[in-house]
Amino acid sequence: MTADLSHQWAYWFHHASLWILPFKYVFGFVAAWGAIYLRRWRKSRSEESAQGWPSVEGNISDGKVKPIPHTSRYLASLEYTYFVEEYRLGEYTHEFSKKSDADDFVRQLKGKRVHIRYNPSNPDKSVLEQSVIEQLVLLAPRFG
């Protein structure tokens, strides 16, 4: 009986790839969606903490679109500049389900002037609020 039991364990260890492979895909899927949730939570939390900060006019200087790994979603990131004693850089990110929507978003907002909130004790820390972006997207004409 002991030999029979050790033979069963040897079989499972020998064919470990059969039962480990599904766990790898499930773990990758959960990790990707966990990262998306964490990004959304951090974004909303930083916007809430910036409500009392002063604002300054900035400019959206660049934008990029890249796929989010292990999902069918895309991340559009906008780089903006603002001046507080010297020129500084910041980044705003937004998720999209379609690459074409993300590309349109970046194309519409590149070169636009926006209000940036910055931390008075650390001017390098800044926030471009979701409401400011929503206003610009609603006011911008749609092309195509």
Q: How confident is the model over 68-123, as pLDDT tens digits?
A: 887 888 999 999 999 999 999 999 988 898 999 999 999 989 999 999 999 999 99
Q: pLDDT higher for 26 or 121?
A: 121
Widest distance between CA atoms in the chain: 79
Q: pLDDT higher for 16 or 106?
A: 106
Q: Using a cut of 0.75, tell me whether the model's pTM lies above it.
A: no
- Chain-wide mean pLDDT for the chain? 81
**What confidence score (pLDDT) does residue 144 get?**
32
**What confidence score (pLDDT) does residue 103 get?**
93
- Closest-CA residue to 135 (of 111, 108, 99): 108
Query: Would the pLDDT of 142 be above 90?
Result: no
Given CA atoms 48, 98, 114, 138 in this order, what sign does their dihedral have? negative
For the chain, what is the domain count? 1
Given CA atoms 6, 11, 14, 18 in this order, what sign does their dihedral have? negative
Structure tokens at 67: 């796929």
**Contact at 8 Å (CB) between 79 and 90?**
yes
Domain of 50?
1-144
